[in-house]
Structure 1
Amino acid sequence: MIFATSGRTSPTADTVEEVAKSMMKRVLFAATGAHGHVLPLLPLAVAARDAGHEVVFATSEGMFGLVRKAGLEPIKAGLEPAEAFALATDHRPDAVPPEEIPVVIAKVFGDVQPRRVFADLTAHLERHPADLVVFEIANPGAGLAAEKMGVPAVRHTIGRVVTGPISAPIKAMTNAVAAELGLTRPDLPVVDICPTSVQEADFLADADRIPMRPTTWSEPGDELPASVRDRDGTRPLVYLTLSTTEAFDVTALRATIDGIARLPVDLLVSTGNAVDPAALDGLPDNVHLQAWVPQHLVLPHVDLIVHHAGAGTALNAFSAGVPQLVLHNPWVDEQRIADTVVAAGVGDRIAQHEIAADAVAEAVGRLLDDPSARAAAGKLAAEVDGMPSPAEVLTRLLAVTG
């Protein structure tokens, strides 16, 4: 709407406010209650808030603190991961044999969580209608709620999409839940934060994809660690991170540290929740240990990142143009991430059960001396930089809401 700027009439404050309200959209974001699922959606949610739209973020209560730090309003949707796994195993998660764990995971993401998220969000949307629902792809219950309430919806990736043996049972279970509810689960557009060159081929072939540049969300007050800020820069900086993973063998971690530390490098180690730093005493002088570091501030200073095959960490390294050494476990998702890093020429891999100081030292030394890995990582970073920003994607998404 264009207001006249001459003549006798001019817009009143009330008129301007009414126009602003008519342009404001109500957007609901939804993610499973885990850092690796919530964090990738925050940039788009913050972009919506900054554009003046009304934004709520649906997740489990354990993530409310993170959502509030981003300046967003959290609402409860879904179970805490531990609660969902307890229900999927009849409250005996520790008794599940290893070979049955994929079945339990499928039940959690294909049945238990979708049912609870659907119930929570349909109740919310009845009281607080939305113009758009954005949900991460591992949280299909939000899509079911949007379909039930007639709200436009889009999916959102959290990194490289992993298709494997567990994908089919998850899809089948979710489809069964949808049929039970009288819903059809239509194909929806998907905001994809993974660069095309490293995205899953089957996903690229089938998805109505909206690329968006992966943007690391940072907490207010984040600062570069002194061990990075004050270094003289005469030696390469290696960054070893366990990010938000909840478990990593302390013996394997110590062997990794010992292997890297014997090289002429500075080593920054971020243990997260996986390992108690007190269990890593007697470290060499070139090792700097912290529980958490702001990854987006550290990566521009890093020559090599060593990580646990986390989807978000790999994506952050792609964006920063940093070569990677991936320490993966046997699960399909981590193996696929390791496969992707190697195939893209940006790094190498070691299975966690094969970690030894000598093997780590050899791989790290080789990658630091390999200009081709650095060049490939730089090419991938340029691809990321050319992807549309969250603000640009938001404009496209809101155009479909009328």
Structure 2
Amino acid sequence: MKFLFVVTGSYVNMYASAPLATAVRNAGHEVILATTNEPMMDAAREMGIPAISMMSETIRSFLPADPSDDEERDTGHGLARMAVQGLESLLEITAGWRPDVVVGSAVSYMAGLLATRLGVPYVRYVEYLRIPLAGIDSGAEEGLLPELRRMGLTGLPEPAMYIDVCPPSLRRTPAPPAQQRMRFLPKTPQRALEPWMFTRPKGRRRVLITSGTHFRMLTPDAMRHLVDQLVLTGAEVLIAAPKKTAEELGDQLGDVRIGWLPLDVVIPTCDLVVHHCGATTGMTMMSAGVPQLIVPAPNPHNRAIAEAVSGFGAAIVMLPEELAKEENPAEAIAAGCREILADPRYTERAQALGNEMAALPAPAEVVRELETLVG
């Protein structure tokens, strides 16, 4: 069988889609992954998945530069414009390679349009939790209304299967029809491993700090203070950072391991992670069953994920605007870290969440369900 994966967003969406696409290939099927911009091709090559870039513009060029108060609806309108343009590219791609199934990431609306045009099953893959789909779907449906009418549809195409990696305990809306739960498997960039990466330090706690590639939680001085406070507790400190940040901070932080780390390998060895709650980062922490201190990046999705995890009892959340009011923001974060390390309930709740995610069907099991969609 032939499976076309359509992934909209950034490289993190590519990483989230990779486990399922890889499982489909490992089951003996043909896979092509269509991305919405050229930079995502690097991530596809890293994952070893055959891929094609179908658009020259990046996703940001389709989103409103100055969104209104109804940001989700505006985002949906932008994604609708992307879907119309992307559909033409997808039709050219599939003219000579007709898929049996089209799998689209959560906001890849062109995937549903393509599957409808081709008359093949459409699968919607929601790769993270708490994506505000209701508002985005509404805006996309408005923007796509002329195209939908031409296809004889009154609304967005309904998926034959709705794959969702959200842990049941964190779901805030009723399960949609045709839902198929799936276990989230972390897929992150790798580097040559060293034994310390996959083994716990003897007699010490381990704390990982990561602020992502695009959002830095703390200034260098504040980071140094936080590290010093964590070291005073007896913890070993790791900092996951891109090369440029590692070079800026490396000489200032003393005996700290800093650099690009394979998070899926390192996180299970940690007792606490301090992070910004990017979608991939947050899901990786949850799947590893590690408690978290979250300083969420200033966007609704990151905050929604942070609220879900803290509401479950597996994290403490500190909002950037609240930290800005503190005389010493780094000390406030350090105090939160000490609380988590001293109270075993955070670890217990984090492990309960990780166990819940581990019990969901693995991608290989979901592939068998996908195969049934084609008679």
TM range (shorter): 0.7 to 0.9
Distance 1:182 1:232, change over 3 A: closer
Alignment of 1:202-351 (within 5 A): 202=173, 204-217=174-187, 222-225=191-194, 228=197, 232-243=201-212, 245-248=213-216, 251=219, 254-263=221-230, 264=233, 265-272=235-242, 276-280=245-249, 282-290=251-259, 292-351=260-319
Name the CA distance, whole Å, in 2 between partners of 1:353 and 1:104: 25
Among all aligned residue pairs of Structure 1 and Structure 2, give the percentage whose two residues are the same amino acid: 27
What does residue 194 of structure 1 align with?
Answer: 166
What does residue 75 of structure 1 align with?
Answer: 52
Give secondary structure in 2 for the equivalent of 1:61.
coil
Distance 1:49 1:228, change over 3 A: closer
Name the CA distance, whole Å, in 2 between partners of 1:166 and 1:246: 25
Name the CA distance, whole Å, in 1 between partners of 2:275 and 2:74: 26
Name the CA distance, whole Å, in 2 between partners of 1:112 and 1:303: 44
Distance 1:207 1:323, change over 3 A: farther
What amino acid sits opposite 2:60 in the alignment? F
How much has 1:121 moved relative to structure 2?
A: 1.1
Name the CA distance, whole Å, in 2 between partners of 1:70 and 1:257: 34
Name the CA distance, whole Å, in 2 between partners of 1:105 and 1:175: 13
Name the CA distance, whole Å, in 2 between partners of 1:100 and 1:37: 24
Instruction: Report the more deviating stretch, 150-159 or 30-39.
Output: 30-39
What does residue 356 of structure 2 align with?
Answer: 383
Distance 1:86 1:387, change over 3 A: closer
Give secondary structure in 2 for the equivalent of 1:190.
strand
Point out where structure 2 has 5 or more consecutive residues left out of the alignment.
324-328
Post-superposition CA distance 1:179-229 (Å, at most 9, x none): 354352232121111211112x22x3434310111112255x644456546
Could you tell me which of 139, 144, 147 is aligned with 2:113?
144
Name the CA distance, whole Å, in 2 between partners of 1:332 and 1:387: 27
Name the CA distance, whole Å, in 2 between partners of 1:328 and 1:218: 20
Name the CA distance, whole Å, in 1 between partners of 2:45 and 2:254: 38
CA contact (8 A) 1:115 1:177 kept: no
Post-superposition CA distance 1:257-295 (Å, at most 9, x none): 52243122111111238x6333325433242210x2111
Name the CA distance, whole Å, in 2 between partners of 1:365 and 1:281: 24
How much has 1:255 moved relative to structure 2?
A: 2.0
Name the CA distance, whole Å, in 2 between partners of 1:389 and 1:230: 25
What does residue 101 of structure 2 align with?
Answer: 132
Point out where structure 1 has 5 or more consecutive residues left out of the alignment.
1-24
Give secondary structure in 2 for the equivalent of 1:373.
helix
Larger Rg computed on CA atoms: 1
Determine if the alignment matches structure 1 residue 43 to structure 2 residue 13.
no
What does residue 112 of structure 1 align with?
Answer: 81
Name the CA distance, whole Å, in 1 between partners of 2:25 and 2:92: 23
What does residue 17 of structure 1 align with?
Answer: none
Alignment of 1:54-93 (within 5 A): 54-59=30-35, 60-81=37-58, 84-88=59-63, 93=65
CA contact (8 A) 2:130 2:305 kept: no
CA contact (8 A) 2:77 2:143 kept: no
How much has 1:98 moved relative to structure 2?
A: 8.9
Name the CA distance, whole Å, in 2 between partners of 1:98 and 1:338: 24
CA contact (8 A) 1:261 1:286 kept: no
CA contact (8 A) 1:85 1:104 kept: no
How much has 1:343 moved relative to structure 2?
A: 0.8
Name the CA distance, whole Å, in 1 between partners of 2:299 and 2:176: 24
Give secondary structure in 1 for the equivalent of 2:252.
coil
What amino acid sits opposite 2:61 in the alignment? A
Name the CA distance, whole Å, in 2 between partners of 1:100 and 1:399: 39
User: RMSD of aligned C-alpha atoms?
Assistant: 2.7
Instruction: Report the more deviating stretch, 230-239 or 205-214.
Output: 230-239
Distance 1:98 1:175, change over 3 A: closer
Post-superposition CA distance 1:331-362 (Å, at most 9, x none): 21111111101111101111123331111010
Determine if the alignment matches structure 1 residue 353 to structure 2 residue 321.
yes
Distance 1:385 1:101, change over 3 A: closer
Name the CA distance, whole Å, in 2 between partners of 1:211 and 1:278: 41
Name the CA distance, whole Å, in 1 between partners of 2:77 and 2:309: 29
What amino acid sits opposite 1:294 in the alignment? P
